[in-house]
């Protein structure tokens, strides 16, 4: 597909973050990206869920129609809007707060979503998941009691308690998953009437 065909196909339903890496790093690009402290930051990880993420070497970026327009001359990040326009670029000296701010800015150009608001809500969901982990610990302890119990009557009682707790956990998990899925659904801006 040519660049013109790709643009005409409106291939992007989501914004894009392109990590442009130096040719010398080519074989280790994924490792270098993943080990960088800025990319391991929780805020950046939450913000990245709104974007498609890609890697490309510097030489190829210079030959790409969209990235060439961004003036890519060294390793860095390029934030691309769904209409294939460049929203922002960043140099190779990545700092998590700057990446997150740029993500928020790029997202606001085309969407009503707020990555900062989602970040706060995600933290609340994470706390709820930690509580569920404690409930799973209770479930494991109940399972151990069932396995150690000699009396059929007590074992049946413990199994009913275990099943009730397992259902409660599954229901809570499903609700959390649904809330989280809604958080990351992109809401395109509506044209001003």
List, for residues 106-154, the tens digit of each pLDDT value: 999 999 999 999 999 999 999 999 999 999 999 999 999 999 988 999 9
Asked, for residue 166, whether it belongs to a domain, the answer is yes
DSSP 63-103: HSHHHHHTT--SSEEEEE-TTS-EEEEE-S---HHHHHHHH
C-alpha to C-alpha distance for 112 and 83, rounded to whole angstroms: 16
Phi, psi of 26 (to 5 degrees): -45, -50
What one-character DSSP code corresponds to residue 23? G
pLDDT tens, residue by residue, 2-33 = 555 555 544 557 899 998 887 655 555 555 55
Asked, for residue 164, whether it belongs to a domain, the answer is yes
Structure pTM? 0.76
Place of tokens 């709104």: 50
**Considering only 30-39, 68-77, 86-95, 149-158, which range has the smallest mean pLDDT?**
30-39
Residues 139 and 92 in one domain: no
Domain that holds residue 171: 115-183
Structural domain ending residue among the three candidates 54, 80, 110:
110
C-alpha to C-alpha distance for 116 and 148, rounded to whole angstroms: 49
C-alpha to C-alpha distance for 114 and 97, rounded to whole angstroms: 15
Portion of the chain with pLDDT greater than 70, in percent: 85
């Amino acid at each position: 597909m040519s660049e013109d065909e790709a643009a005409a196909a409106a291939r992007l339903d989501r914004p894009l973050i392109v990590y442009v890496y130096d040719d010398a790093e080519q074989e280790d690009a994924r490792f270098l990206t993943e080990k960088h402290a800025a990319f391991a930051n929780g805020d950046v990880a939450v913000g990245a869920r709104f974007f498609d993420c890609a890697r490309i070497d510097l030489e190829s970026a210079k030959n790409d129609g969209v990235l060439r327009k961004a003036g890519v001359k060294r390793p860095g990040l390029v934030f691309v809007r769904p209409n294939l326009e460049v929203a922002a670029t960043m140099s190779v000296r990545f700092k998590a707060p700057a990446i997150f701010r740029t993500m928020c800015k790029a997202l606001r150009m085309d969407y009503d979503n707020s990555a900062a608001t989602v970040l706060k809500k995600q933290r609340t969901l994470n706390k709820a998941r930690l509580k569920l982990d404690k409930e799973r610990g209770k479930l494991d302890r109940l399972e151990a009691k069932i396995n150690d119990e000699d009396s059929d009557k007590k074992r049946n009682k413990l199994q009913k308690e275990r099943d009730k707790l397992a259902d409660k956990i599954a229901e809570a998990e499903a609700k959390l998953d649904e809330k989280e899925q809604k958080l990351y659904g992109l809401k395109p801006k509506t044209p001003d009437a």
